[in-house]
């Protein structure tokens, strides 16, 4: 098997994905041991620094303002609150903090300036800092890099074809462009997807092909299992079998041998045995804490018990890359790229429209009562 190569075809990825499960896990475990320490798993903490009110229509997301979910909308966190939560995460074994804001795209102004200070503050704690803030211009990526950001997360979510059935308010090309902007600014890239959104196996393979053809491909790839949230268009979507997650983790490991495969959303529905097979198949990171942005997540103590059972230890910060230097120029913006216009696709998604209509009706009833 060719290793650490680019330009996989969908047919080749499907051939890997569809191998007998135990053979697939074995092959993935071999690749994992060649490129990574199988006893180390990075513990990351995901903070929702600004929750709810997002103008997008992502069919899976409870933070979309147009849907009626139980998400409590919160304004941007203070720098001190973020620092306190980062210190708490660090004391529990986390070496990486990912800060997420429910924005379509980053906008210049006081809030972005505040995020830049959050980045510098957490970086100064000797933790890896990752952000997921929506679409990003080249200069915004540069400022984040100058502030000490280590990684930028911007998930592809699924294949380009299936993407049109999930989201209508932005285009796939915007995802690719933002990843490129982050890369040009010297940031490492974190980009993966969600399985269980009604996609086909071919869609899963196509997403991995797209990731593998990025040059270079992402340093980390989150694999999420859909968490169906009431009020979203995907509220009735059935939970995928654990075998699908194991196959996806193992295939990702083989196709992208040097990347860190992150076992992300959906772990609350996985057994310890299922997670163990994911670790054996190449998962090298988990997200810790009681929530992943807005969805439930296993307790950190339970995770540490599982680590102890499996003989795993938390990975230290910057094990796979250097700590970024800070350039004070992060405080200064370059206005030349502020006028970038992100796409507004013309298509509509029936399920998203229906969920939006239902949300309006529920809000009317709540107002009357």
Please choose, from the candidates 36, 24, 34, 41, the residue with its C-alpha nearest in 3D space to the C-alpha of residue 251. Answer: 24
Structure tokens at 46: 């995901």
Q: Cis peptide before 216, with omega less than 30 degrees from 0?
A: yes
Residue of 54, 120, 123, 267 with catalytic role: 54
Distance CA 52, CA 42 (A): 28
Catalytic residue (choose from 120, 123, 130, 143) = 130
Strands (DSSP E) contained in 22-61 are: 40-50
> Considering 96, 247, 262, 267, which one is annotated as catalytic?
262
Q: Residues 175, 190, 253, 278: which is the catalytic one?
A: 190
Q: Spot the catalytic one: 58, 120, 253, 278.
A: 58
Tell me the helices (H) and strands (E) count for the chain, helix number first: 12, 12
8 Å CB contact between 207 and 255:
no
| Strand 291-292 to 295-296 pairing | antiparallel
Angle at which helices 21-35 and 10-17 pack, to 10 degrees? 110
54 is catalytic: yes
Element (H, E) at 288: strand 283-288
How many angstroms separate the CA atoms of 301 and 333, rounded?
42
Residue 133, number of CB atoms within 10 A of its CB? 25
Task: Single out the catalytic residue among 96, 98, 131, 170.
Answer: 98
**First vs last C-alpha separation in the chain:** 64
131 is catalytic: no
Which residues neighbour 109 within 8 Å (Cβ) at sequence distance 6 or greater?
Answer: none
- Nearest to residue 163, comparing CAs of 58, 66, 17, 13? 58
Residue 152 main-chain phi, psi, to 5 deg: -120, 130
8 Å CB contact between 139 and 336: yes
Closest CA to 138 of 358, 337, 304, 294: 337
Distance (Å) of CA 222 to CA 20, 211, 261: 23, 12, 6
Residue 130 falls in the annotated catalytic set: yes
Q: Would you call 5 a catalytic residue per the annotation?
A: no
Q: Are 255 and 281 in contact (CB under 8 A)?
A: no
- Catalytic residue numbers read 54, 58, 61, 98, 130, 190, 262
């Amino acid at each position: 098997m060719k290793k650490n190569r680019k330009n996989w075809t969908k047919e080749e990825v499907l051939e890997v994905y569809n191998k007998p499960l135990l053979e697939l896990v074995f092959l993935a475990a071999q690749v994992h041991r060649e490129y990574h320490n199988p006893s180390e798993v990075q513990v990351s903490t995901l903070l929702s620094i600004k929750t709810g009110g997002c103008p997008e229509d992502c069919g899976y997301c409870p933070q979309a303002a147009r849907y009626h979910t139980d998400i409590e909308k919160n304004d941007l966190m203070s720098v001190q609150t973020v620092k306190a939560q980062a210190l708490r995460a660090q004391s529990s074994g986390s070496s990486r903090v990912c800060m997420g804001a429910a924005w379509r795209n980053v906008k210049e102004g006081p809030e972005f300036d505040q995020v830049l200070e959050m980045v510098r503050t957490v970086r100064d704690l000797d933790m890896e800092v990752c952000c997921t803030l929506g679409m990003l211009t080249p200069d915004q990526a540069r400022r984040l890099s100058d502030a000490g950001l280590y990684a930028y997360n911007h998930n592809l979510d699924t294949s380009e074809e299936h993407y049109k059935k999930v989201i209508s308010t932005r285009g796939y090309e915007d995802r690719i462009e933002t990843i490129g902007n982050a890369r040009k600014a010297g940031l490492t890239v974190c980009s993966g997807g969600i399985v269980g959104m009604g996609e086909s196996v071919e869609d899963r393979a196509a997403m991995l092909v797209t990731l593998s053809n990025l040059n270079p491909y992402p340093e980390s790839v989150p694999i999420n299992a859909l968490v169906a949230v009431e009020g979203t268009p995907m509220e009735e979507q059935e939970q995928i079998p654990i075998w699908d997650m194991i196959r996806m983790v193992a295939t990702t490991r083989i196709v992208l041998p040097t990347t860190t495969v992150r076992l992300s959303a959906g772990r609350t529905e996985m057994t310890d045995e299922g997670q163990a097979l994911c670790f054996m198949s190449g998962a090298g990171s988990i997200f810790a804490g009681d929530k992943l942005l807005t969805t439930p997540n296993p307790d950190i103590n339970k995770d540490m018990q599982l680590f102890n059972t499996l003989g795993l230890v938390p990975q230290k910060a910057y094990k796979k890359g250097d700590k970024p230097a800070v350039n004070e120029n992060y405080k200064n913006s370059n206005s030349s790229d502020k006028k970038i216009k992100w796409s507004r696709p013309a298509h509509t998604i029936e399920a998203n429209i229906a969920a939006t209509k239902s949300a309006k009706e529920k809000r009317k009833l709540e107002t009357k009562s």
